[in-house]
Amino acid sequence: MREPIAKIDPVHISASLQPDAERYAFLAVELGATVAAAVSATAITIDERVTLKCEVPKCFGYGVCANCPPHAPSTQRMRAVINMYHTAVVFRLDVPPRVIVRDRDTIMERVAAYKKMFSIVSSLESAAFYDGHYLAAGLAAGSCKSTFCHDLDCAVLEGQRCRHDLVARPSMEAVGIDCYALAVSLGWDVFPIGSGVTADRVPVGVLIGLLLVG
């Protein structure tokens, strides 16, 4: 029999915030992340230039997905939201260079990597929720449309229910979080991989996810 769900206890939630965040970091690795860390929410930087990069030049996800700009939560809103959190978990998923570069031959492996990212975030969010951190929220990497609904129109933008509503979510970059700066602050190596990069020019590709715990 599975353990019963504990009642919401604000005092316990506050006291367990840091140890729980550290536990979720371990869980992220158990779920397949390469490395993870519990961090202060003050380490998270919101920068309008991040979402500008969704527009200039236009990203393939811009305007066609409910979780991408201009439909994703604004940087102004996210800055206010982040200020209400104390602790977060950031994790990195390493991806082979030949997979992360935009090569049609590896598109299925690339989609699988992004699906793994979304799955880890969703699982962390669920674990935190059932531990009593009911305001926990996770952010992934990349576009959920290209990951789950590549050949379909976004159902939400057509006024329908999301086809993957418990897993699909905005990426960190979609809401203006400078995930590169956050990763570098943790001592992680990150390489700028654009459409012109070939696999022989970078040692690894990384996807970065985030759980806002409480």
CA atoms within 13 A on the CB side of 57: 3
Q: CA-CA distance, 191 to 65, in Å (whole number)?
A: 26
CA Rg, the chain, in Å?
17
Task: State the average pLDDT over residues 35-54.
Answer: 98
Rounded to whole angstroms, how far apart are CA atoms 153 and 175?
21
pLDDT at residue 28 tops 90? yes
- In the predicted model, is pLDDT for residue 196 greater than 90? no
Residue 1 in this model has a pLDDT that exceeds 80: no
Q: Is the pLDDT of residue 61 over 90?
A: yes
For the chain, the first-to-last Cα distance in angstroms comes to 29
The pLDDT score that the predictor gives to residue 164 is 98
Cβ 194 vs Cβ 78: under 8 Å? no
Residue 186, classed as helix, strand or coil, is: coil
| pLDDT exceeds 90 at position 5 | no
**Res 105 pLDDT > 90:** no
For the chain, which residues make up each domain, given as ranges? Answer: 10-212
> Can you tell me the distance from the alpha carbon of 123 to that of 166, in angstroms, rounded to the nearest whole number?
10
DSSP 88: E
Q: What is the pTM of this model?
A: 0.96
Mean of the pLDDT values across residues 168-197?
96
What tokens appear for 37 in the block?
Answer: 């860390």
Give the pLDDT score at 129: 97
Look at the block and give the residue holding tokens 């997905």. 65
67 three-class SS: coil
Q: What is the pLDDT of residue 102?
A: 80
Pair 97, 38: CB distance under 8 Å: no
Structure tokens at 2: 């599975």
